[in-house]
Structure 1
Amino acid sequence: MKQNIYDNPIFFEQYNSLRNSGVTYNDFVEQPAMKSLIPALHGKSVLDLGCGAGHLARYCIENGASKVLGVDISKNMIEQANKENKHEKIDYICLPIEDLEFPEYKFDIIISSLAVHYIEDYPALVEKISGLLIKGGEFIFSTEHPMVTARREKNNWIKDTEGNRLYYAVDHYQEEGKREEHWYVDGVIKYHRTVSTLINTLINYGLVLEKIIEPQSTPAGLEIMPKLIHEVRKPSFMIIKAFKM
């Protein structure tokens, strides 16, 4: 199923409000870690899968990329990208990642920020990505950590009677597949995969694992969002970097 939750008006309004605040897990945990793994971009062609409003695409151009193609299923996101992060070296396409086809084109770098966990057929996605990379090309992506996606119920923090967090519950870890949750609206679907599946699928399609990060907050994030201290106890994200042999 190709979910397009970002074109739900209620979800889009609430999500935009959160991201525009600049005080999010993305700002202080996920994005700094993603950017730390992106290599030197000078003269490189970049494919941004699940580009959203185009912030990471713009970052790549500002850091020397010669061309960026941003792809997203959401019409709302692509319209916002063209308003806020338009650039002569960036093209945005409104298209499901699963439908992307460039049989005669290769990219130096493929990036994807928090989109992979929305894709049902992970092996097909990795096969496509491998085919779109040049030899030596790199794939860097972030996903919700399998610790987060594993449990079917989403009340993972077990608290005492005063509301203090005692521990984080993980269950159903080996039971991969669809997870459904309420996030501004009902029926938001993500897909849980184990760490071994995430890594071995890359290997199966000719990619070599280079680095994994389970990031914690930046110091600035801890000052602005004290609750980010809990990333020490339970990581929210995993960032993986691999390259094509």
Structure 2
Amino acid sequence: MKEKVVEVYDKLAKDYEIHVDTQSGHNAYYERPAMMKLMPTNMNQLAVLDAGCAAGWYTEQFIKLGAQVTAVDLSPAMVEACKRRVGNEAEVFTCDLTDTLPFKDETFNLIVSSLTLHYIDDWVPTFREFHRIMKPGGHLIFSVHHPFMDFKHFERPDYFAHELLMEIWNKKESGPVEVTFYRRPLQEIINVTSAQFVIDQIVEPQPDLDLKDKLESIDWYNQWFDRLSTNPHFLVVKAQK
């Protein structure tokens, strides 16, 4: 599975670097606004880990807010895209979140993981490592596929199953790629998180009406606004050590 994820996201790296910020509505206009509402407004001197940085959009936002950012990703091509985006303003390197993480205990005030954890089968070791490297009082903020969305979209027979799913993404730069990820029920997400952290907030994002008014010409928003207003696509969790 790990090798498959690297292969796929190395292929997708150019699309993420060039197109995602403006053309992938689920990222740009849905997931990112919901995540950013949960972030500290002032990150001055906060030590932040962008765990699954992709092409570096979140890394760049945290730098602008004054954070000291470390960004990691499993895909070497994504790491290079992130480096091109932020230069020397963050420490960026390839890292596997399922391994022992190369950081000292109590290093980070904030760990952010955007649409990454559903590529990991067993969250328990990863969350233990997140807890180890987080400072007391620090926060973990992560987003994943909403389990109900995957259950409904893929017409699965058992909501409570922890299972591997696959779909084809057809992107402008990469062409069709086979993407695989894990689906798990909500209770597993909550229980694994709460075993290491105190959950502060659960968010099932809905589109922002104000954003819709500003982006009326965006085809994605016109197509998805009503659907995302009644069917959650992602799930966002904020938890504290």
- Asked whether the equivalents of residues 55 and 85 of structure 1 are also in contact (C-alpha less than 8 Å), the reply is no
- Asked whether the equivalents of residues 167 and 178 of structure 2 are also in contact (C-alpha less than 8 Å), the reply is yes
1:17 Cα offset (Å): 5.1
Equivalent-residue separation in structure 1 for 2:64 and 2:21 (angstroms): 20
Secondary structure of the 1:181 match is strand
1:160 alignment counterpart: none
1:233 Cα offset (Å): 2.0
- Asked whether the equivalents of residues 13 and 54 of structure 2 are also in contact (C-alpha less than 8 Å), the reply is no
1:104 Cα offset (Å): 4.1
Equivalent-residue separation in structure 2 for 1:14 and 1:51 (angstroms): 14
After superposition, the C-alpha distances for 1:30-69 in whole angstroms (9 at most, x for unaligned) are 000100001241221000100011111111121121x110
Paired amino acid for 1:96: D
2:229 is aligned, of 229, 232, 238, to: 232
Equivalent-residue separation in structure 1 for 2:145 and 2:178 (angstroms): 17
Evaluate the alpha carbon distance shift between residue 113 and residue 147 of structure 1 in structure 2; reply closer, same or farther with a 3 A threshold.
same
Secondary structure of the 2:232 match is coil
1:202 alignment counterpart: 193
Evaluate the alpha carbon distance shift between residue 212 and residue 20 of structure 1 in structure 2; reply closer, same or farther with a 3 A threshold.
closer
- Asked whether the equivalents of residues 57 and 70 of structure 1 are also in contact (C-alpha less than 8 Å), the reply is yes
1:211 Cα offset (Å): 0.4
- Asked whether the equivalents of residues 29 and 216 of structure 1 are also in contact (C-alpha less than 8 Å), the reply is yes
Equivalent-residue separation in structure 1 for 2:9 and 2:74 (angstroms): 8
2:208 is aligned, of 197, 218, 232, to: 218
Identity across matched positions, percent: 31
Equivalent-residue separation in structure 1 for 2:52 and 2:148 (angstroms): 22
- Asked whether the equivalents of residues 147 and 170 of structure 1 are also in contact (C-alpha less than 8 Å), the reply is no
1:195 Cα offset (Å): 1.1
Are residues 1:180 and 2:166 paired?
yes
Equivalent-residue separation in structure 1 for 2:83 and 2:137 (angstroms): 31
Evaluate the alpha carbon distance shift between residue 7 and residue 23 of structure 1 in structure 2; reply closer, same or farther with a 3 A threshold.
closer
Are residues 1:94 and 2:94 paired?
yes
Evaluate the alpha carbon distance shift between residue 124 and residue 96 of structure 1 in structure 2; reply closer, same or farther with a 3 A threshold.
same
Is 137-146 or 74-83 further displaced after alignment? 74-83
Q: Structure 2-normalised TM-score?
A: 0.85
1:79 Cα offset (Å): 1.0
Query: CA-atom RMSD, angstroms?
Result: 2.0
Q: Structure 1-normalised TM-score?
A: 0.84
1:241 is aligned, of 214, 227, 238, to: 238
2:47 alignment counterpart: 45
- Asked whether the equivalents of residues 18 and 24 of structure 1 are also in contact (C-alpha less than 8 Å), the reply is no
Q: Any stretches of 5+ residues in structure 2 without a counterpart?
A: 171-175
> What does residue range 53-132 of structure 1 map to in structure 2 within 5 Å?
53-65=55-67, 67-88=68-89, 90-99=90-99, 100-104=101-105, 106-132=107-133
Equivalent-residue separation in structure 2 for 1:195 and 1:103 (angstroms): 31
Equivalent-residue separation in structure 2 for 1:210 and 1:95 (angstroms): 27
Secondary structure of the 2:238 match is strand
Equivalent-residue separation in structure 2 for 1:214 and 1:20 (angstroms): 21
Equivalent-residue separation in structure 1 for 2:18 and 2:87 (angstroms): 21
Paired amino acid for 1:42: N
1:25 Cα offset (Å): 1.3
Evaluate the alpha carbon distance shift between residue 144 and residue 230 of structure 1 in structure 2; reply closer, same or farther with a 3 A threshold.
same
Q: Any stretches of 5+ residues in structure 1 without a counterpart?
A: 157-168
Secondary structure of the 2:81 match is helix
Paired amino acid for 1:217: P
